[in-house]
Structure 1
Amino acid sequence: MAVIGWLQNSAWQYVAEVLRPEDLPMLAAHALVDGHDSPALRELAGLPRRSDAAEVRELYVQALSELDVPLPDEETAGRRLLVSLAFGLVQGELSPREAGDGLSMTVTARTEEETQFLSVAAEYSEWIEPDDLPAWERELQTAAQSLVASTDLGPGICVSASRHD
């Protein structure tokens, strides 16, 4: 994926709150190494991992602006998160539990498939009965496959790192 592509990917992850502030300086450093440059990007890349989160966020948003990478609105970011989780599940990169746990913000589903996936994913809880877990996992897998087959958001979006590391 091109750097601007993964920077665009990081923009929705940032809005969806799955990209942690401590990961942003390294993201900026990779962008610089790959030939993209802006004053805020350079400053962000030079920050230590444990820098002030507010300063890191401000520099990240400024760097995206300088590179003409727009931040999506919350609805778009939430939809991309849903599709990303569905693709991760279908491609075997996420377990059903990880997909359910991956919902990090209030998301708005626009399509019937997004609504179904969100509804099933939201049913997961650590208190789900062990006997009910296989049926939930099958229902989530089915909803994910339906969403992946119908989405206009594409497979190039993915959650690059777990929020729960």
Structure 2
Amino acid sequence: MACRYQADEICPEDLPVIAAEALAAGLDSPTLCELAGWPRHADARDIRDAFEQALAESGIELPDPSLARRHALRRLAARLIDGETAPADLVTDDWWETEVETAAERSFVALIPQCECCIEYTLGLDQQTWTAQLRIAALALTSSPPIGPGC
């Protein structure tokens, strides 16, 4: 969760529920207990601060943001392969800004247009070929060796 949090994949309002689930799974810290009782509509900054404090109390370090983003890219590729996300949905985030380091990451990111209007402009009418290339690149990325500490 720390990695997904650092990659902005988790909304602050979901963190109290995540804290409660962590308690149920056996993780324990004073701030985690406190956060688990907070309402979803509490101030987002307070929720974030409490979550980060709970992680620190539990001995869990937040990963480097760029590493967390690279792990998020791999999760995105896996969701594409599993059919949980459509190729056109990949342009909803700024993946092209991700600091990639491997050839597999570069190949995958290079196929993601920067915005929705760029899909048609970049790909023309050959979206079927683009979709196939994107899936091949996603498979190569998810099959490549893991990066850094696991997230």
TM-score range for the pair, normalised by the shorter chain length:
0.7 to 0.9
Q: Which runs of 5 or more residues in structure 2 are unaligned? A: none
2:138 corresponds, among 130, 135, 144, to: 144
**For residues 126 and 116 of structure 2, what CA distance do their matches in structure 1 show?**
12
2:26 corresponds, among 13, 20, 35, to: 35
Q: Which runs of 5 or more residues in structure 1 are unaligned? A: 1-9, 158-165
- Out of 50-59 and 82-91, give the one that drifted further: 82-91
2:3 corresponds, among 5, 12, 17, to: 12
Q: Which residue of 2 aligns with 1:79?
A: 70
**For residues 84 and 131 of structure 2, what CA distance do their matches in structure 1 show?**
15
The structure whose residues are more often helix, as a share, is 2
Q: Which residue of 2 aligns with 1:131?
A: 125
**For residues 12 and 101 of structure 1, what CA distance do their matches in structure 2 show?**
20
**For residues 100 and 144 of structure 1, what CA distance do their matches in structure 2 show?**
15
Structure 1 residues 104 and 120: alpha-carbon distance in aligned structure 2, compared to 1, 3 A threshold: closer
Decide whether the 8 Å contact of 1:86 with 1:99 is kept in 2. Answer: no
Structure 1 residues 151 and 91: alpha-carbon distance in aligned structure 2, compared to 1, 3 A threshold: farther
2:40 corresponds, among 41, 45, 49, to: 49
TM-score (norm 2): 0.86
TM-score (norm 1): 0.79
Between the aligned residues of both structures, percent identity stands at 39
SS at match of 2:63: coil
SS at match of 1:71: coil
Q: Which residue of 1 aligns with 2:85?
A: 94
Matched positions, count: 146
Give the letter for the 1:150 counterpart. Answer: S
SS at match of 2:109: helix
CA RMSD of aligned residues (A): 2.2
**For residues 46 and 91 of structure 1, what CA distance do their matches in structure 2 show?**
35
Give the letter for the 1:33 counterpart. Answer: A
